[in-house]
């Protein structure tokens, strides 16, 4: 699992001559075809071959062709045949395509990713127990060190209890248990500082638990679901990712609103033409693109200028011949990531559609 510790370990790897290859690829299969990914790799392969060898390159190619997961959006390779280094990270966020060769791995894009991605904490409980998971970068991990819970006192040696008293006793215990879980999850939060909370469990305890969680955590509550306690990890991951998806949609529509506001203050643009001009001026701060939006156009391979004017034959900046491009959005994304802009893909959003499927919040 990718975390800050992993990155630190990576950074400790050193070679005498610059022979460590750090390769970052945008493998977002919602917007890039396998062919486009292959071409990107081909364009970067000279640098890889020069520092490593043909075998390493074909190993990378094979990995992308055969083992790339459907949900992966970014791939990072750290490779050095000399010291037997072969490390891959598949992450749910796109990278700017690049190769860096140095005496140690180039980790900045990974650090940025860790910084931007939200950490989810999932608490599952029933009348007797609780489990805690963290969900991060599309992966789930169970934390077994979080709770010490009150035991149900003497189930067996209280045999003489009447039914009603037993019932009362159980209720008291459940209340104690819920309070205890709520308290402990709050101190877990203070130590680990996750971004959002998901709560799950049986319908007997979940509403009561929700009432009892600390107000800080209530603000971070992303969702809840009913479940049995002893389900496999995969189940909790899938349920959590569904909620994460809803949160993403929510964030997207907030961003679209922010884009609308920024247009009023002349700090935002919409429509491909205006966005391209802003990209050319290096003003992109956040680029919003509707998923599935593509457009033919022309590009200058020399300076990277992108145009949607079909008649444009020569680049106005460097006088090179403009080339036909099947999809200029693809090029624009590269330009945006190069400017260190945030790229947000927006799913089915009527407002953004009306604004021409694309818009950008500007830096200046």
Sketch the per residue contact string, 44 through 83, with Zn ion: x for CB under 5 A, - otherwise: ----------------------------------------
Contact range with Zn ion by CB under 5 A, out of 115-123, 188-196, 214-222, 311-319: 311-319
Contact range with Zn ion by CB under 5 A, out of 106-114, 199-207, 283-291, 292-300: 292-300
Q: Applying CB under 5 A, does 305 fall inside the site for Zn ion?
A: yes
Contact range with Zn ion by CB under 5 A, out of 10-18, 181-189, 238-246, 303-311: 303-311
Q: Applying CB under 5 A, does 303 fall inside the site for Zn ion?
A: yes
Axis-axis angle for helices 328-338, 272-280 (nearest 10): 40
Contact range with Zn ion by CB under 5 A, out of 124-132, 229-237, 297-305, 335-343: 297-305
Q: Applying CB under 5 A, does 323 fall inside the site for Zn ion?
A: no
Q: Which is nearer to Zn ion, 10 or 278 (CB)?
A: 278
The minimum distance between CB 15 and Zn ion, in angstroms, equals 37
Q: Which is nearer to Zn ion, 161 or 317 (CB)?
A: 317
- Choose among 267, 311, 362, 345: nearest CA to 94: 345
Q: Applying CB under 5 A, does 300 fall inside the site for Zn ion?
A: yes
Which stretch of DSSP H or E encloses residue 222? Answer: strand 221-226
Q: Are 358 and 293 in contact (CB under 8 A)?
A: yes
Among 161, 216, 230, 317, binds Zn ion (CB under 5 A): 317
Q: How far is CA 316 from CA 87, 221, 278, 304, in A?
A: 43, 52, 16, 11
Q: Which is nearer to Zn ion, 208 or 301 (CB)?
A: 301
Strand partners, 321: 314
Strand partners, 133: 122, 142
Q: Applying CB under 5 A, does 322 fall inside the site for Zn ion?
A: no
Axis-axis angle for helices 4-11, 108-116 (nearest 10): 170
The minimum distance between CB 335 and Zn ion, in angstroms, equals 12
What number of chain residues touch Zn ion (CB under 5 A)? Answer: 8
The string of DSSP codes covering 72-101 is: --EEEEEEEGGGTEEEEEEESS----EEEE
The tokens of 237 are what? 């991951």
Residues present in the chain in total: 364
- Choose among 207, 217, 232, 221: nearest CA to 131: 232
The minimum distance between CB 347 and Zn ion, in angstroms, equals 33
Determine the straight-line distance between the first and last CA of the chain, rounded to whole angstroms: 37
Among 182, 315, 352, 360, binds Zn ion (CB under 5 A): 315
Contact range with Zn ion by CB under 5 A, out of 28-36, 62-70, 203-211, 310-318: 310-318
Among 208, 302, 327, 338, binds Zn ion (CB under 5 A): 302
Contact range with Zn ion by CB under 5 A, out of 11-19, 112-120, 132-140, 300-308: 300-308
The minimum distance between CB 77 and Zn ion, in angstroms, equals 30
Q: Which is nearer to Zn ion, 172 or 303 (CB)?
A: 303
Strand partners, 345: 289
Among 318, 323, 326, 348, binds Zn ion (CB under 5 A): 318
Which stretch of DSSP H or E encloses residue 10? Answer: helix 4-11
Q: Are 210 and 220 in contact (CB under 8 A)?
A: no
The minimum distance between CB 317 and Zn ion, in angstroms, equals 5
The tokens of 288 are what? 């919003």
Q: Applying CB under 5 A, does 114 fall inside the site for Zn ion?
A: no
The minimum distance between CB 43 and Zn ion, in angstroms, equals 17
Q: Which is nearer to Zn ion, 142 or 302 (CB)?
A: 302
Q: Residue 108 CA to chain centroid, in angstroms?
A: 16
Q: Tell me how far apart the alpha carbons of residues 56 and 52 are, in angstroms, rounded to a whole number.
A: 6
Half-sphere exposure of residue 225: CA atoms within 13 angstroms, side-chain side: 17
Residues that bind Zn ion (CB under 5 A): 300, 302-303, 305, 315, 317-318, 320
């Amino acid at each position: 699992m990718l975390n800050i510790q992993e990155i630190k370990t990576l950074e400790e790897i050193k070679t005498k001559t610059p022979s460590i290859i750090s390769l970052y690829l945008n493998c977002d299969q919602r917007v890039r075809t396998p062919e486009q990914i292959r071409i990107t790799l081909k364009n970067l392969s000279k640098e890889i071959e020069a520092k490593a060898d043909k075998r390493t390159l074909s190993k990378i190619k094979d990995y992308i062709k055969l083992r790339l997961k459907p949900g992966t959006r970014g791939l990072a390779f750290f490779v050095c045949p000399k010291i037997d280094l072969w490390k891959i990270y598949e992450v749910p966020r796109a990278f700017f395509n690049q190769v860096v060769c140095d005496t140690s791995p180039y980790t900045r894009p990974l650090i940025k990713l860790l910084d931007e991605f939200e950490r989810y904490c999932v608490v599952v409980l029933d009348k007797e127990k609780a489990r805690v998971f963290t969900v991060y970068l599309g992966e789930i991990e169970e934390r077994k060190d979080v709770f010490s819970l009150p035991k149900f006192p003497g189930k067996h040696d209280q045999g003489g209890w009447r039914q009603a008293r037993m019932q009362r006793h159980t209720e008291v215990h459940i209340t104690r248990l819920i309070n205890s879980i709520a308290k402990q999850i709050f101190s877990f939060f203070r130590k680990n500082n996750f971004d959002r909370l998901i709560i799950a469990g049986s319908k007997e305890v979940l509403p009561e638990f929700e009432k009892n969680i600390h107000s800080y955590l209530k603000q971070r509550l992303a969702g809840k679901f009913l479940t049995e306690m002893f389900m496999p990890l995969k189940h909790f991951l899938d349920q959590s990712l569904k909620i994460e998806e809803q949160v993403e949609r929510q964030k997207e529509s907030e961003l679209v609103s922010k884009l609308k506001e920024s247009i009023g203050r002349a700090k935002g643009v919409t429509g491909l033409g205006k966005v391209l001009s802003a990209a050319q001026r290096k003003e992109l701060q956040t680029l919003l693109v509707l998923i599935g939006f593509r457009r033919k156009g022309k590009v200058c391979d020399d300076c990277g200028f992108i145009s949607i004017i079909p008649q444009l034959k020569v680049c106005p900046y460097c006088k090179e011949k403009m080339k036909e491009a099947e999809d200029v959005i693809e090029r624009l994304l590269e330009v945006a990531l190069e400017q260190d802009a945030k790229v947000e893909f927006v799913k089915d959003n009527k407002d953004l559609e009306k604004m021409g499927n694309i818009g950008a919040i500007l830096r200046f």
